[in-house]
């Protein structure tokens, strides 16, 4: 990756002959950005551009450059790429659009690029990318003139869009390095994170992701990095989470976005959900040390904003600190009615004492010095009018920070007329431990993000989520695709010692009656057929069958119902099963295309999708993770035992979950698996119904 960010030499293929406004000439942009490496051009029709001699072919270059940048129409990209790798160039940026971002032809071309790169041991970035921006060395592949930061920030932006390079001041506040993954045909977010892990110029990482190809690798590298470098991620496309219908409860409960949410939590990544939250968080990490706790002190010139701050704290995971008793020294006998609380409303004090800024300073210093306060939010007015020249909060803040020995964060919201606001915030732009925000909500968002990161560092991600290889020989053969039913499903569950309620699958009513007599009434009868995956919805279940007469009648009803509803259907048999009683749970698996198998545990039965009391975890599962899943459920107090009632056998449930985890590792072709319900009581647990799709 270093050659992408810091090439000593670069060849530009497809440079425009035009320069100036409207040309979008990447050579012109590279020179304006200050690149000092060796530059080569390939252009078959002109001898030079901007004083640089061109070559007709890549093969004519006098050396093998570190990096090639291709900006051609899509049909000309593959021939140029072929020339590059044939010449020995190992790193290529494909700026061009119209590949997997476009149509079927574009997808074919992108696949050919990937094959060609692998054959020659080369790596490429893109297609459909702005490429790389590195102000530390003055290197840019952009075709837009981006101002170079004189003092680049230690924040690297990894995005799937070039817009984050062009609008850094709006999206992250400040920025250092940036890379646009584009279509991520080859180089992906995992490659970049592995490079940034040991990059001394990167202290903060902001991600914009539309998807992840190597989900488990992302989990491992991110979990390894976050104790040293915070990772903030904006994942777009959340609304597509439940778009596809699933064949099981698990499938509908584990949509794409819920898996990303789980992934970010497991990796210790700080997820934001909007550009506003992204900017607020990035600015906080650039200027603040993380809050060591959730307790916020507030000094404000308006009581209304104190109420708003309390609401925002509740929304974003902070709390208002108790008022430090020393701050009561600010109270004035002249307005004895004005007793201080947190938020500290100082406007009456400023009016009485004649110095609003001095009261602001004393209140903020008192809050920052208190062991009961982890961060401070300051709200105050600024005006350009000479009648309010005393309201110089920028100078006041610089003075009070001399007493901030612990370097606690101070978020500011200044309000008033536009000119004064701009002047005062500019004066504080680079002051350590201070950020001026445009809204109160952004201020609390930024502070809360640093508190979340402090918690992550206190309890770093445990990792250990790499998937083991599936065994070469498996105990039970599964079909190539479709539902796994009948004896195949029972054999699979029993091999992994997953407890199944005593059951018999048969087409013979006499055998069913004999089994029911042996196992004991009442029993349940269920139609087993590929066309009847949702048996309850179709009426294919009979409960509380109490004797042989009822069994015979129910058996006949089910056969007739099957014939009426699915005359061409494949009836594997009717399952006769001892009816067990207890608390109904759901346990299941869903294979995510990016992250692999995800386990689900929650409230089960026919109300699973209504209650949605669900916990999720990646497979492989440890006993500790399984226990945490159960403990996070709303029904957990019932499982553990409440109001004198005995709880269920939790250890038996944990055994079942670990067995299911091993099954998922051994059979990666399983797409969805439902055990619903699993009936648990103080003695143990039993699977009553199951659904497996490969």
Residue 612 has pLDDT above 90, yes or no: no
Work out the pLDDT band at 336, boundaries 50, 70, 90.
confident
Strand ranges for 222-307 from DSSP E? 231-235, 270-272, 295-300
Give yes or no: residues 408 and 511 share one domain.
no
Work out the pLDDT band at 35, boundaries 50, 70, 90.
very high
The structure tokens listed for 245 are 């219908």
Answer yes or no: are the C-beta atoms of 152 and 279 closer than 8 Å: no
Work out the pLDDT band at 683, boundaries 50, 70, 90.
very high
User: How many angstroms separate the Cα of 441 from the Cα of each of 186, 289, 437, 465, 687?
Assistant: 39, 19, 9, 36, 48
Q: Where is the domain boundary, 554, 578, 602?
A: 578
CA proximity to 327, closest of 264, 373, 289 = 373
Give yes or no: residues 107 and 188 share one domain.
yes
Work out the pLDDT band at 239, boundaries 50, 70, 90.
low
The answer as to whether 403 is a domain residue is: yes
Q: Which of 129-138, 207-216, 344-353, 431-440 has the lowest mean pLDDT?
A: 344-353
pLDDT tens-digit readout, 467-520: 888 898 888 888 888 888 888 888 999 999 999 999 999 999 999 999 999 999
For position 472, what pLDDT does the model report?
A: 86
Mean pLDDT of 641-668: 94
Answer yes or no: are the C-beta atoms of 496 and 673 closer than 8 Å: no
The answer as to whether 449 is a domain residue is: yes
Residue 565 has pLDDT above 70, yes or no: yes
Give yes or no: residues 194 and 132 share one domain.
yes
Work out the pLDDT band at 256, boundaries 50, 70, 90.
confident
What is the edge-to-edge ordering of all strands in the sheet holding 523-528? 503-506, 573-578, 523-528, 541-545
Q: Which of 123-132, 238-247, 330-339 has the lowest mean pLDDT?
A: 238-247
What rounded mean pLDDT belongs to the chain?
Answer: 92
Answer yes or no: are the C-beta atoms of 673 and 692 closer than 8 Å: yes
Q: Angle at CA 211, nearest 5°, toward 141 and 198?
A: 60
pLDDT tens-digit readout, 367-391: 999 999 999 999 999 999 998 888 8
The answer as to whether 92 is a domain residue is: yes
Residue 243 has pLDDT above 60, yes or no: no
For position 176, what pLDDT does the model report?
A: 97
For residue 400, the Cα-to-chain-centroid distance in whole angstroms is: 38
Specify the 3-state DSSP secondary structure of 206.
strand
- Residue 222 and residue 226: Cα distance in Å, rounded? 6
- Residue 412 and residue 410: Cα distance in Å, rounded? 6
Work out the pLDDT band at 347, boundaries 50, 70, 90.
confident
Give yes or no: residues 652 and 571 share one domain.
no
Work out the pLDDT band at 465, boundaries 50, 70, 90.
confident
For position 537, what pLDDT does the model report?
A: 85
Q: Where is the domain boundary, 197, 221, 236?
A: 236
The structure tokens listed for 140 are 């840019």
- Residue 574 and residue 506: Cα distance in Å, rounded? 6
Strand ranges for 395-439 from DSSP E? 410-416, 434-436
- Between 215 and 536, residue with greater pLDDT: 215
Residue 445 has pLDDT above 60, yes or no: yes
For position 248, what pLDDT does the model report?
A: 40
* Percentage of residues in the chain having pLDDT higher than 90: 80
Paired strand residues for 299: 344, 378
163: enclosing H helix or E strand: helix 163-166
Mean pLDDT of 408-428: 94
Work out the pLDDT band at 525, boundaries 50, 70, 90.
very high
The answer as to whether 198 is a domain residue is: yes
Give yes or no: residues 438 and 363 share one domain.
yes
32: enclosing H helix or E strand: helix 26-33
- Between 287 and 480, residue with greater pLDDT: 287
What is the edge-to-edge ordering of all strands in the sheet holding 204-209? 139-140, 132-134, 178-180, 155-159, 204-209, 231-235, 270-272
The answer as to whether 254 is a domain residue is: no
Residue 247 has pLDDT above 70, yes or no: no
Give yes or no: residues 573 and 613 share one domain.
no
Work out the pLDDT band at 412, boundaries 50, 70, 90.
very high
Give yes or no: residues 308 and 372 share one domain.
yes
Mean pLDDT of 98-104: 90
Work out the pLDDT band at 614, boundaries 50, 70, 90.
very high
For position 253, what pLDDT does the model report?
A: 43
What residues contact 149, with CB distance under 8 A and at least 6 apart?
Answer: 135, 174, 175, 176
Burial 45-59 (b: 16+ CB within 10 A, else e): eeeebeeeebbeebe
Give yes or no: residues 302 and 396 share one domain.
yes
Helix 215-225 / helix 256-267 crossing angle, nearest 10 deg: 30
For position 242, what pLDDT does the model report?
A: 37
Give yes or no: residues 566 and 604 share one domain.
no
Paired strand residues for 435: 411
Give yes or no: residues 429 and 313 share one domain.
yes
Residue 610 has pLDDT above 80, yes or no: no
What residues contact 491, with CB distance under 8 A and at least 6 apart?
Answer: 476
Q: Which of 157-161, 286-290, 457-461, 478-482 has the lowest mean pLDDT?
A: 478-482
Specify the 3-state DSSP secondary structure of 87.
coil
For position 240, what pLDDT does the model report?
A: 52
Residue 29 has pLDDT above 80, yes or no: yes
Residue 685 has pLDDT above 80, yes or no: yes
Residue 246 has pLDDT above 60, yes or no: no
The answer as to whether 382 is a domain residue is: yes
Task: Please count the structural domains in the chain.
Answer: 4
Q: Where is the domain boundary, 556, 578, 600?
A: 578
pLDDT tens-digit readout, 583-605: 999 999 999 988 999 999 999 87
Q: What is the CATH number of the domain that holds 21?
A: 3.40.50.720
Q: What is the CATH number of the domain that holds 345?
A: 3.40.50.261
What residues contact 361, with CB distance under 8 A and at least 6 apart?
Answer: 396, 399, 400
- Domain range for 565 is 502-578
Q: What is the CATH number of the domain that holds 544?
A: 3.30.1490.20
Residue 241 has pLDDT above 70, yes or no: no
Work out the pLDDT band at 353, boundaries 50, 70, 90.
confident
The answer as to whether 276 is a domain residue is: no
579 backbone dihedrals φ, ψ, rounded to 5°: -80, 120
The answer as to whether 343 is a domain residue is: yes
């Amino acid at each position: 990756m270093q050659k992408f960010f810091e090439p000593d030499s670069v060849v530009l293929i497809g440079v425009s002959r035009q320069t100036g406004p409207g040309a979008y000439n990447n050579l012109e942009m590279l020179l304006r950005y200050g690149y000092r490496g060796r530059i080569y051009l390939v252009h078959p029709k002109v001898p030079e551009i901007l004083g640089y001699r061109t070559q007709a072919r890549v093969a004519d270059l006098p050396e093998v450059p570190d990096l090639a940048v291709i900006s051609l129409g899509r049909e000309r990209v593959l021939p140029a790429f072929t020339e590059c790798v044939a010449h020995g160039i190992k790193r290529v940026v494909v700026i061009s659009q119209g590949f997997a971002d476009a149509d079927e032809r574009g997808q074919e071309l992108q696949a050919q690029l990937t094959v060609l790169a692998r054959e020659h041991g080369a790596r490429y970035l893109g297609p459909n990318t702005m490429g790389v921006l590195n102000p530390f060395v003055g290197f840019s592949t952009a075709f837009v003139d981006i101002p170079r930061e004189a003092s680049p920030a230690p924040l690297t932006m990894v995005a799937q869009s070039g817009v984050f390079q062009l609008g850094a001041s709006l999206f992250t506040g400040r920025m250092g390095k940036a890379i646009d993954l584009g279509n991520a045909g080859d180089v992906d977010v995992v490659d970049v994170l592995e490079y940034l892990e040991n990059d001394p110029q990167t202290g903060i990482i902001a991600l914009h992701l539309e998807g992840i190809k190597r989900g488990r690798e992302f989990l491992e590298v991110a979990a390894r990095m976050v104790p040293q470098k915070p990772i903030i991620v904006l994942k777009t496309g959340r609304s597509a989470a439940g778009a596809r219908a699933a064949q099981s409860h698990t499938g509908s409960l584990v949509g794409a976005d819920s898996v990303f949410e789980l992934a970010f939590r497991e990796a210790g990544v700080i997820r934001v959900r909007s550009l506003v939250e992204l900017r607020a968080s990035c600015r906080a990490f650039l200027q603040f040390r993380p809050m060591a706790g959730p307790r916020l002190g507030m000094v404000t010139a308006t009581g209304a904003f104190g109420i708003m701050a309390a609401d925002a704290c509740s929304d974003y995971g902070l709390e208002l600190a108790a008022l430090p008793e020393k701050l009561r020294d600010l109270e004035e006998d002249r307005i004895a009615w004005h007793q201080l609380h947190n938020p500290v409303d100082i406007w009456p004090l400023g009016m009485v004492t004649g110095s609003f800024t001095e009261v602001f300073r004393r209140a903020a210093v008192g809050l920052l010095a208190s062991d009961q306060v982890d961060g401070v939010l300051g709200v105050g007015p600024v005006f350009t009018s000479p009648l309010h020249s005393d309201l110089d909060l920028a100078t006041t803040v610089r003075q009070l920070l001399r007493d901030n020995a612990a370097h606690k964060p101070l978020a500011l919201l200044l309000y008033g007329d536009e000119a004064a606001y701009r002047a005062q915030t500019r004066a504080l732009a680079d002051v350590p431990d201070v950020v001026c925000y445009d809204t109160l909500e952004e201020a609390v968002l930024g502070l809360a993000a640093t508190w979340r990161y402090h918690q992550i560092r206190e309890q770093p991600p445990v990792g250990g989520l790499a998937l083991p290889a599936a065994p070469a020989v498996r105990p039970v053969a599964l079909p190539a695709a479709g539902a796994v039913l009948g004896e195949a499903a029972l054999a699979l569950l029993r091999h992994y010692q997953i407890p199944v309620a005593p059951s018999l699958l048969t087409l013979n009513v006499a055998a069913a009656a004999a089994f029911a007599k042996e196992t004991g009434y009442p029993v349940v009868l269920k139609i087993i057929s590929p066309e009847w995956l949702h048996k309850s919805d179709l009426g294919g279940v009979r409960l509380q069958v109490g004797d042989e007469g009822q069994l015979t009648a129910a058996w006949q009803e089910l056969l007739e119902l099957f014939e009426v509803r699915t005359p061409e259907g494949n009836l594997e048999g009717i399952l006769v099963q001892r009816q067990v009683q207890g608390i109904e749970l759901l346990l299941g698996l869903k294979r995510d295309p990016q992250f692999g198998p995800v386990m689900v545990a929650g409230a089960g039965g026919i109300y699973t999708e209504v209650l949605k009391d669900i916990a999720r975890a990646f497979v492989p599962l440890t006993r500790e993770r399984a226990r945490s899943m159960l403990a996070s459920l709303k029904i957990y107090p019932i499982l553990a035992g409440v109001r004198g009632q005995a709880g269920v056998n939790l250890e038996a449930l944990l055994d079942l979950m670990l067995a299911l985890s091993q099954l998922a590792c051994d059979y990666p072709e399983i797409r969805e698996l439902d055990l619903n319900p699993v009936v648990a009581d103080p003695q143990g647990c039993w699977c009553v119904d199951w659904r497996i799709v490969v």
